[in-house]
């Protein structure tokens, strides 16, 4: 039969609507459990067919592991509700050993076609999304709301779900986001703003969730630049406590990022341009004056939610005709607020239904709803939390308010360390605290979930956490609890530094602890200062691991400024100096060299060889970026000397790769290739694969450097193989390393003439939302590469525009940018191809006059060749000057052992010789070099050389034939008049 989702399925006295999940008997809604209803929908959908036990479990339990006994229990409940087997009525047959079959005749009545998107199933997607929680397997009473918001969000672009705390805004937002996954090709970002304590961190948090690391001083500008071309659904959840900052940011994104759709949740509207507020109404309740029985009550979402939560807390609870009015009264008093209903329903197992109703009367009474309308909306849930809090035993009150210090999830070990002051007999042991946590979970005040590692973590709902913090302040325990919180995470980070990958979920706690330690408003003391320094030193590994360079710079500077005299020159200062050095380089901060040199001095004094080498590597990286290649070579040689004093083959490999990169930039390609190759022989790939230090993937740098040098040395196929290896390995690393690798190997594909792959590579860089802010130079270099690819593809105007922008940016922000000469060379070629010969000549001449590091480097032969080509293209070409450029280029390429450049220059020189009528000389010089290549014959340069050689062969053959004809004169030639005659 046609799927019952298309309409109403009727059988016997029953009508089943899968779309509204409602079963009626003779027009009266029938109470049926969710699992039983799911089983019925599947069986009716396949009426007349046998549905196996496995298929039923798969469809109904959606990937959960359950036993066949669960199926039998719910099947029994379903048959009982249908009256199956009574009065010889049969609906469901058990086919022994196979499954179940719906045997009653089914009539399908079509309903109007829905124009709004359908809700997603629990298994609608398994993709890893940026911050988006998994879709809920069960949501009560919000299906139509979700469809409405989906439609509004699609047409209006900016919707804020507004309502009181606990009404279910986040639940609806998560469901809407999952419903729109296909519309946005999975590009959905969910940002939990509730974890932010400082409004100034809002843009940073959004950027971090997007994968955009925040090393630029202007995070907001970087974020907006990233979003301007991004097609994205951005969900901003829990905006109310930073409402002004959230409103400003949302309005800015809406106005400047036209492809971004925004879904916000807040207790009040943001009240900004473009916003469409959707007020999320409370769950529907029975009218005050309507008689209510159990069956009718379950048609209202508020009652249905109450019953589900009450049964979850006490499986003996059952909704009856007698107690249905009491439940309806409770839900009405709670105004249909979902979280409030869950809190109250959770007490039924303790106090009973009537006892719970009596307590609600005593604490809030009939005046509760009026007081709710008179006060700000957040006070509604505050009043309920206040009531819930006072119902707790003193020990659980103490635990809950101290748990409020956690920002995000926490483990039981952390809960014990932070909540137990240890100064009173009333404090808990581990078992006692575990019992208190279990009790708070049962009362819906603490949530629990499984971590990726298979363990259990806890967290407070944000509204509960804010309330708990208020209670903590009133109890005068804020400072002591915050100190224990900071001390715990300082110790935890120190012990678990090697497991930084799992620390992402604790970043909120880490930030909160650091802010408390360095916040002078809460008072300072030597102990607090020392704790802050300890915590900052312990945190740097995690911050660097996640490429949070701006935060690492902030906290390492703050810690160094407060470093006690007793620890100066010690390992803690050394760790902070290294963190300051690395984060300064990536953020472009000034005066990084003194920090590195001071760290090197301390490392040498403390015989900390590994840190000494990492600091030298940082200094090498800095020298490299400012194009002081001779200094970088000297530093890399020092690294090699220090590394050889250890038996760590990984350090040996890193030193060889760093020396290789310096020799490559200086134009010593044979030496560079030897160093790169040697680096990969130290201990084999098993060891060099782990060559990563504090967020820097040295192996990736080794692979990308080797690929470029292999091409320059005349091994294009080997270069291609290495480039592909680098891309494959970087795919499993951090985003910043992935982007770095993509940028560097893009040149290899460009040099080979593989424009499609080069384009794909650069598009992958720019497709990542982080690409403009990863490193201070990434954005400019990516634009330059894209411009060069466009030139090669024939789009001269767009390519020249991008290259001009990139070159100007490099000169404005950093006169010593490593890619400046490459960009200038590409721009000059593009300008020449477009006929702007004077400008092209000016660009290339200026670049040759101001080489990186004031010395001829690896690209000097290509710069000279391009200049010669421009000179030969001028209306009045200077062949003599062009020839001098080519001969100089050829001499440099040979000295560098750069056969890649030598081939290009020799081809251009052969073209000049042919232009001068010296075809045989042209062929000889090009054929001699061409014969030295053993691979890469499908690359652009070798194919161009092959074509030129073929053309020269034809010309030489034609010339020789003409000469032969002129000397083969007949015996009576004297009688033939000459042409001159």
Share of the chain above pLDDT 90, in %: 30
Identify which has the larger pLDDT, 203 or 775: 203
Pairwise CA distance, residues 516 & 742, whole Å: 40
Report the pLDDT value the prediction gives residue 902, as an integer from 0 to 100: 96
C-beta atoms surrounding 610 within 10 Å: 15
| Residue 124 reports pLDDT greater than 50 | no
Report the pLDDT value the prediction gives residue 154, as an integer from 0 to 100: 85
Tokens linked to 98: 């196979």
Average of per-residue pLDDT across 34-55: 85
Average of per-residue pLDDT across 411-430: 76
Report the pLDDT value the prediction gives residue 685, as an integer from 0 to 100: 66
Q: What is the pLDDT of residues 609-668, one digit of tens each?
A: 888 888 888 888 888 777 888 888 999 999 999 888 888 888 888 899 999 999 999 999
| Residue 582 reports pLDDT greater than 60 | yes
Pairwise CA distance, residues 486 & 467, whole Å: 21
Element (H, E) at 926: helix 919-930
Average of per-residue pLDDT across 752-769: 85
What is residue 240's three-state secondary structure?
helix
Identify which has the larger pLDDT, 243 or 777: 243
Query: Rounded to an integer, what is the distance from CA 547 to the centroid of its chain?
Result: 11
- One fold for 4-110 and 392-476: yes
Residue 66 — very low, low, confident or very high, per pLDDT cuts 50/70/90? Answer: low
Q: Do the Cβ atoms of 272 and 251 come closer than 8 Å?
A: yes
Residues 6+ away with beta carbon under 8 Å from 5: 18, 19, 45
Report the pLDDT value the prediction gives residue 289, as an integer from 0 to 100: 64
Identify which has the larger pLDDT, 602 or 443: 602
Residue 198 — very low, low, confident or very high, per pLDDT cuts 50/70/90? Answer: confident
Mean pLDDT across the chain, nearest whole number?
Answer: 81
| Residue 16 reports pLDDT greater than 70 | yes
Residue range 4-110, CATH number: 1.10.10.10
- Give the CATH H-level superfamily of domain 143-279: P-loop containing nucleotide triphosphate hydrolases (3.40.50.300)
Query: Rounded to an integer, what is the distance from CA 301 to the centroid of its chain?
Result: 37
Q: What is the pLDDT of residues 551-562, one digit of tens each?
A: 888 999 999 988
Q: What is the pLDDT of residues 314-341, one digit of tens each?
A: 778 888 888 888 888 888 777 677 877 8
Pairwise CA distance, residues 911 & 915, whole Å: 6
Residue 835 — very low, low, confident or very high, per pLDDT cuts 50/70/90? Answer: very high
Q: Do the Cβ atoms of 335 and 288 come closer than 8 Å?
A: no
- Look at the chain and count its residues: 981
Q: Do the Cβ atoms of 82 and 38 come closer than 8 Å?
A: no
> Hey, what long-range contacts does 23-26 have (CB within 8 A, 24 or more apart)?
23/81
Residue 976 — very low, low, confident or very high, per pLDDT cuts 50/70/90? Answer: very low
Dump the DSSP string for 894-956: HHHT-HHHHHHHHHHHHHHHHHTT-HHHHHHHHHHHHTT--S-TTSHHHHHHHHHHHHHHHHH
Average of per-residue pLDDT across 340-351: 78
Residue 522 — very low, low, confident or very high, per pLDDT cuts 50/70/90? Answer: low
Identify which has the larger pLDDT, 195 or 60: 60
| Residue 963 reports pLDDT greater than 90 | no
Report the pLDDT value the prediction gives residue 543, as an integer from 0 to 100: 85
Report the pLDDT value the prediction gives residue 486, as an integer from 0 to 100: 94
Element (H, E) at 95: strand 92-95
| Residue 777 reports pLDDT greater than 80 | no
Q: Do the Cβ atoms of 485 and 505 come closer than 8 Å?
A: no
Report the pLDDT value the prediction gives residue 364, as an integer from 0 to 100: 41
Report the pLDDT value the prediction gives residue 69, as an integer from 0 to 100: 64
Identify which has the larger pLDDT, 572 or 854: 572
Element (H, E) at 235: strand 232-237
Return the domain boundaries, the chain.
4-110, 143-279, 294-388, 392-476, 695-761
Dump the DSSP string for 122-141: TTS-----BSPPPPPS---S
Average of per-residue pLDDT across 715-725: 95
Share of the chain above pLDDT 70, in %: 82
Pairwise CA distance, residues 860 & 868, whole Å: 12
Average of per-residue pLDDT across 139-155: 85
| Residue 686 reports pLDDT greater than 70 | no
Q: With 0-12 CB in 10 A as exposed, 13-18 as middle and 19+ as buried, what is 645?
A: exposed
Identify which has the larger pLDDT, 285 or 757: 757
Report the pLDDT value the prediction gives residue 980, as an integer from 0 to 100: 31
Report the pLDDT value the prediction gives residue 139, as an integer from 0 to 100: 74
Pairwise CA distance, residues 14 & 26, whole Å: 6
Report the pLDDT value the prediction gives residue 371, as an integer from 0 to 100: 32
**Helix residue ranges per DSSP H, 364-429:** 368-374, 378-391, 394-403, 412-419
What is residue 110's three-state secondary structure?
strand
- The torsion of the CA quartet 236, 239, 243, 247, rounded to 10 degrees, works out to 20
Residues 6+ away with beta carbon under 8 Å from 809: 780, 783
Average of per-residue pLDDT across 289-317: 82
| Residue located via tokens 């937002």 | 173
Rg (Cα) of the chain, in Å, rounded?
36
Report the pLDDT value the prediction gives residue 900, as an integer from 0 to 100: 96
Strand-pair category, 232-237 with 260-266: parallel
Report the pLDDT value the prediction gives residue 838, as an integer from 0 to 100: 93
**Cα angle 71-72-75, degrees, rounded to a multiple of 5:** 85
| Residue 376 reports pLDDT greater than 60 | no
Report the pLDDT value the prediction gives residue 115, as an integer from 0 to 100: 40
For the chain, count helices (H), then strands (E): 43, 17
> Which of 1-5, 9-13, 366-370 is the most confident on average?
9-13
Report the pLDDT value the prediction gives residue 138, as an integer from 0 to 100: 64
Q: With 0-12 CB in 10 A as exposed, 13-18 as middle and 19+ as buried, what is 787?
A: buried
Report the pLDDT value the prediction gives residue 116, as an integer from 0 to 100: 39
Residue 588 — very low, low, confident or very high, per pLDDT cuts 50/70/90? Answer: low
Q: Do the Cβ atoms of 399 and 412 come closer than 8 Å?
A: no
| Residue 466 reports pLDDT greater than 60 | yes
753: left (phi over 0), alpha (psi -120 to 50) or beta: left
| Residue 505 reports pLDDT greater than 50 | yes
Report the pLDDT value the prediction gives residue 694, as an integer from 0 to 100: 56
Fold category of 392-476 in CATH: Arc Repressor Mutant, subunit A (1.10.10)
């Amino acid at each position: 039969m046609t799927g019952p989702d298309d309409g109403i399925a009727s059988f016997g006295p029953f009508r089943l609507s899968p779309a509204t999940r409602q079963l009626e008997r003779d027009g009266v809604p029938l109470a049926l459990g969710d699992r039983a209803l799911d089983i019925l929908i599947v069986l009716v959908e396949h009426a007349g067919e046998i549905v196996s036990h496995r298929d039923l479990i798969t469809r109904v339990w959606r990937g959960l592991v359950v036993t066949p006994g669960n199926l039998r229990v719910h099947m029994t409940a379903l048959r009982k509700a249908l009256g199956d087997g009574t009065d010889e009525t049969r609906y469901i047959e058990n086919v022994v050993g196979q499954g179940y079959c719906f045997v009653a005749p089914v009539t399908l009545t079509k309903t109007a076609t829905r124009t709004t998107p359908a809700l997603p199933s629990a298994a609608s997607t398994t993709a890893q999304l940026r911050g988006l929680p998994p879709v809920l397997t069960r949501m009560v009473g919000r299906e139509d709301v979700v469809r409405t918001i989906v439609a509004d969000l699609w047409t209006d672009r900016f919707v804020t779900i507004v309502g009181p705390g606990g009404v279910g805004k986040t639940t609806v937002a998560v469901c809407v986001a999952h419903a729109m996954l296909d519309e946005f090709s999975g590009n959905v970002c969910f940002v939990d703003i509730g974890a932010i304590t400082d409004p100034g961190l809002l843009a940073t948090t959004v950027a971090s969730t997007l994968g955009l690391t925040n090393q630029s001083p202007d995070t907001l500008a970087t974020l907006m630049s990233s979003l301007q071309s991004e097609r994205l659904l951005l969900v901003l959840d829990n905006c109310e406590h930073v409402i002004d900052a959230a409103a400003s940011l949302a309005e800015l994104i809406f106005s400047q990022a036209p492809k971004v759709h925004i879904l916000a949740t807040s207790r009040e509207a943001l009240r900004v341009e473009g916003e469409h507020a959707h007020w999320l109404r409370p769950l529907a309740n029975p009218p005050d004056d309507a008689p209510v029985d159990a069956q009718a009550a379950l048609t209202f979402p508020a009652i249905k939610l109450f019953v589900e939560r009450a049964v979850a807390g006490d499986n003996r609870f059952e909704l009856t005709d007698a107690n249905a009015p009491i439940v309806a009264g409770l839900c009405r008093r709670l105004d249909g607020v979902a979280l409030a209903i869950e809190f109250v329903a959770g007490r039924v197992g303790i106090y009973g239904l009537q006892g719970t109703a009596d307590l609600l009367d005593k604490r809030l009474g009939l005046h509760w709803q009026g007081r709710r309308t008179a006060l700000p909306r957040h006070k509604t849930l505050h009043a309920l939390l206040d009531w819930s809090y006072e119902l707790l035993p003193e020990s659980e009150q103490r635990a809950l308010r101290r748990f409020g210090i956690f920002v995000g999830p926490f483990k039981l070990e952390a809960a014990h360390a932070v909540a137990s002051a240890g100064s009173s007999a009333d404090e808990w042991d581990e078992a006692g605290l575990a019992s208190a946590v279990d009790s708070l979970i049962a009362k819906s005040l603490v949530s629990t979930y499984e971590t990726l590692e298979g363990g259990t973590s806890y967290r407070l709902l944000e509204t509960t956490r804010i309330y708990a913090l208020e209670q903590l302040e009133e109890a005068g325990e804020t400072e002591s609890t915050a100190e224990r919180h900071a001390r715990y995470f300082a110790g935890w980070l120190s012990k678990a530094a090697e497991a930084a990958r799992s620390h992402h979920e604790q970043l909120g706690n880490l930030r909160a602890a650091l802010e408390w330690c360095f916040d002078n408003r809460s008072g300072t003391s030597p102990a607090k200062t020392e704790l802050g320094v300890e915590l900052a030193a312990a945190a740097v590994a995690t911050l660097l691991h996640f490429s949070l360079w701006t935060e690492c710079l902030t906290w390492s500077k703050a810690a160094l400024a407060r470093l006690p005299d007793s620890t100066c020159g010690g390992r803690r200062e050394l760790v902070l100096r290294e963190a300051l050095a690395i984060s300064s380089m990536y953020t472009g901060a000034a005066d990084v060299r003194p920090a590195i040199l001071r760290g090197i001095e301390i490392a040498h004094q403390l015989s900390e060889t590994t840190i000494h080498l990492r600091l030298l590597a940082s200094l090498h990286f800095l020298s490299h970026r400012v194009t002081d290649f001779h200094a970088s070579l000297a530093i890399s040689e020092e690294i090699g000397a220090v590394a050889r004093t250890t038996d760590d083959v990984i350090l040996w490999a890193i030193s060889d790769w760093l020396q290789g990169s310096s020799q490559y930039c200086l134009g010593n390609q044979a030496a560079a290739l030897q160093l790169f190759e040697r680096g990969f022989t130290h201990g084999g790939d098993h060891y060099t694969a782990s060559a990563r230090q504090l967020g820097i993937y040295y192996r990736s740098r080794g692979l990308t450097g080797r690929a470029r040098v292999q091409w320059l040395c005349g091994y294009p196929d080997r270069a291609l193989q290495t480039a592909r290896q680098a891309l494959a390995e970087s795919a499993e690393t951090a985003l910043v390393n992935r982007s770095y690798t993509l940028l560097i190997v893009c040149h290899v594909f460009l040099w080979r003439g593989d424009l499609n792959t080069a384009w794909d590579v650069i598009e992958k860089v720019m497709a990542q939302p982080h690409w403009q802010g990863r490193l201070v130079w990434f954005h400019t270099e990516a634009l330059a590469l894209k411009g060069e690819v466009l030139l090669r593809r024939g789009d001269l105007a767009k390519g020249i525009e991008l290259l001009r922008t990139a070159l100007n940016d490099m000169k404005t922000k950093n006169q010593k940018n490593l890619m400046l000469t490459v960009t200038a060379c590409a721009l000059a070629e593009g300008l020449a191809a477009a006929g702007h010969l004077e400008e092209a000549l000016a660009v290339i001449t200026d670049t040759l006059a101001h080489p990186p590091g004031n010395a001829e480097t690896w690209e000097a032969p290509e710069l000279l060749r391009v200049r010669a080509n421009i000179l030969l293209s001028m209306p009045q070409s200077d062949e003599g000057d062009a020839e001098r450029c080519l001969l100089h280029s050829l001499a440099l390429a040979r000295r560098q052992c750069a056969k890649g450049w030598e081939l290009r220059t020799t081809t251009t020189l052969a073209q000049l010789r042919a232009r001068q009528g010296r075809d045989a000389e042209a062929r000889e010089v090009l054929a001699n070099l061409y014969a030295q290549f053993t691979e890469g014959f499908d690359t652009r340069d070798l194919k161009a050389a092959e074509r030129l050689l073929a053309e020269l062969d034809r010309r030489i053959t034609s010339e020789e034939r003409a000469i032969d004809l002129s000397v083969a004169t007949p015996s009576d030639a004297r009688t033939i008049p000459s042409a001159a005659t």
